[in-house]
A = this chain, B = another copy of it.
Amino acid sequence: MAEGHGSASGGENLLFLTDEQLRKGIEAMFFAYRGFTADPDRILEDHAYGRAHHRALHFINRTHGTTVNNLLALLGVTKQSLNRVLRTLIEDGLVESRVGRTDRRERNLYLTPKGEALERALSEAQRERMRAAYRAAGPQAVAGFRQVLEAMMDDDIRRQYLGLRDRRP
């Protein structure tokens, strides 16, 4: 069923499409993701938070004043699931929820200084590993890395990903 896809039957070099190559790629994703989350996870433990809190902090920092609905779409979870996380972050004073100015049904989410501090610590740990990996692999490899990851996303997610802009305070 799966055989023959990556055979070198064509004129071009398609060895990188071998099932074995694809399997190695799959395993690389699995193992690399473990490393990717390992450092922030250690920090989160000390605060009795989990990965879900990290993700919320990351995207609230990324898109200042975003609404809950917006965040739901980015994270791909239900509002009940997000709400549980968001509530603790608000109670603990890491996130501020302000009533929307134009549409008062909406809530705009912001990090407090305390929230920014934790986000920075988590992000810095994660970026440090990325930085080391990027440096080890070099700029050309990094470009390829990003290309493959983008091609791997679902279409609607890719649009959201590409739309994320760096905040300028």
- A interface residue numbers (CB < 8 A to B): 1-2, 5-6, 13, 15-17, 19-36, 38, 55, 58, 62, 76, 120, 123-124, 126-127, 129-154, 157-158, 160-161, 164, 166
Residue pair B124, A136 in contact (C-beta under 8 Å): no
**What is the copy number of this chain in the assembly?**
2
Contacts of A124 in B (CB 8 A): 1-2
Interface contact A142-B27, CB-CB below 8 Å: no
Given contacts A16-B142, A17-B131, whether A126 and B76 have CB atoms under 8 Å apart is: no
Chain B residues with Cβ below 8 Å from A135 are 17
A130 with B152: CB separation less than 8 A: yes
Residues of B within 8 A of A151 (CB): 132-134, 136-137
